[in-house]
Amino acid sequence: MKAFAYVTARTPESAVELVADRGRFIAGGIDLLGEMKEHIAEPATLVNVKRLPGIREIAPGDTRWSIGAGVTLTALTEHKELRQVFPALAEAAELVGSPQMRNVATIGGNLAQHSRCWYYRHRDVHCLKKGGKRCFARGGENKFHSLFTKCQCLSPCVSNLAVALTVLDASVVVQRGRKPVTLPLAALYDLALTSARVHNSLKPDDLILRIELPVVAGRRSTYLQLSEKNDFDWALVSCAAAGRIENGLLRDARVALGCIAPVPWQTKEADACLERHPPTDATAAAAAEHLLLDASPLEHNAYKLPIARTLVRRAVARLAET
Ligand SMILES: Cc1cc2nc3c(=O)[nH]c(=O)nc-3n(C[C@H](O)[C@H](O)[C@H](O)COP(=O)(O)OP(=O)(O)OC[C@H]3O[C@@H](n4cnc5c(N)ncnc54)[C@H](O)[C@@H]3O)c2cc1C
Ligand code: SF4
């Protein structure tokens, strides 16, 4: 690891200024220190953002909750009221990695975590994401990669929380320069669909301040995933769903899949398939087909298709029973 300066920012404006000169924000350090030890990232300055005012606060509200970017995943899982109002978020957080990791990893760092592609994570492999000329996963080892292969980079978004927050209609407040701007969750990732160089839409000095969640009376939500290991592992595929049940029909229905595309994968057609329909297995299966319509698996990842279909059916079944 190369030598670096370490500073603690006290205001969002100073954090942004401090990071400008080849710096990186650091929260729990789970992802960033891994990148540094592997010589993928060599920042001149680490800007600690865990002491910023309000960054570790969960603020409930009647119409909207606000969750500071520095709130740990353990704090999310242990907040009883949050679990009642946004079960998908608590369930997504408690399935991340291991208890030790969840004690330090933050919601902001989880959303901004970088690619887990094993070619990207290899110091000596210069793929498209690092400015190289080719994607080594396309004809190589692509077991964990995207099912939507029209994008140049096949590395999927693997953040559990991104998938849960997608169906909860969350937005992210980002300090951009001297101003805070609010982005819908989808806008936090959409650049990764068109640019192989990035893993999300954040600029290097964009600082996530907080996540905002609207309160929808009577809304149920859930998060499910399948991994190779029970602990200390990312999902192979994940799924979150949300909606109200009114007169036996789903309303404000949302469903999203994770680990199969560079963004949390959601389509209007799949949501429309659930909307004003009973939460039956047939409805869920139809929504899954809509989500996977344009999927074109690679040599080693077609196994993700039946997992995705099953997770969507189970998630909708859980909305019906909760
Ligand atoms: C073995 C293992 C298993 C894992 N399993 C899972 C899993 O199952 N599901 C899952 O979702 N994740 C998983 N992870 C990833 C882990 O959850 C993330 O690495 C962690 O949440 C990152 O949070 P952090 O606070 O430690 O971020 P850091 O490592 O401090 O930062 C991560 C990135 O975000 C940037 N950043 C941090 N805070 C901000 C901010 N406020 N604004 C803008 N940028 C910011 C940093 O500059 C860095 O680029 C796993 C990781 C490991 C090592
Ligand atoms: S999937 Fe993306 S990160 Fe992985 S080798 Fe291809 S371009 Fe690089």
pLDDT (tens digit per residue) in 120-157? 999 999 999 999 999 999 999 999 999 999 999 999 99
Tell me, using a 6 A CB cutoff, whether residue 261 lines ligand 2. Answer: no
pLDDT of 294 reads 95
**In angstroms, rounded to a whole number, what is the distance separating the alpha carbons of residues 236 and 311?**
11
The sign of the CA dihedral 30, 232, 68, 200 is positive
At residue 9, does pLDDT exceed 90?
Answer: yes
**In angstroms, rounded to a whole number, what is the distance separating the alpha carbons of residues 104 and 164?**
20
Centre of ligand 2 to C-alpha 167, Å, is 27
pLDDT of 230 reads 87
Phi, psi of 270 (to 5 degrees): -65, -40
Centre of ligand 2 to C-alpha 79, Å, is 37
Domain annotation for the chain: domains and CATH numbers: 58-112+158-214 (3.30.465.10), 220-321 (3.30.390.50)
160 to each of 227, 269, 282, how far by Cα in Å? Answer: 12, 22, 26
Residue with the smallest CA separation from ligand 2 atom 4 is: 117
Helical axes 304-321 vs 281-291, angle rounded to 10°: 140
pLDDT, tens digit (0-9, with 9 covering 90-100), for 244-291? 999 999 999 999 999 999 999 999 999 999 999 999 999 999 999 999
Tell me, using a 6 A CB cutoff, whether residue 128 lines ligand 2. Answer: yes
Considering every ligand atom shown, identify the ligand nearest to the alpha carbon of residue 264 and give its number: 1
Residue with the smallest CA separation from ligand 1 atom 47 is: 25
Residue with tokens 């099912």: 147
Q: Which of 182, 194, 204, 51 is closest to 114 using CA atoms?
A: 204
Residue with the smallest CA separation from ligand 2 atom 6 is: 135
Centre of ligand 1 to C-alpha 90, Å, is 16
Ligand 1 pocket, CB under 6 A: 24-32, 49, 69, 96-97, 101, 105-106, 108-110, 112-114, 158-160, 202, 207-208, 232-235
Centre of ligand 2 to C-alpha 193, Å, is 13
Name the pLDDT band for 322 (thresholds 50, 70, 90): low
Centre of ligand 1 to C-alpha 187, Å, is 19
pLDDT, tens digit (0-9, with 9 covering 90-100), for 180-225? 999 999 999 999 999 999 999 999 999 999 999 999 999 999 999 9
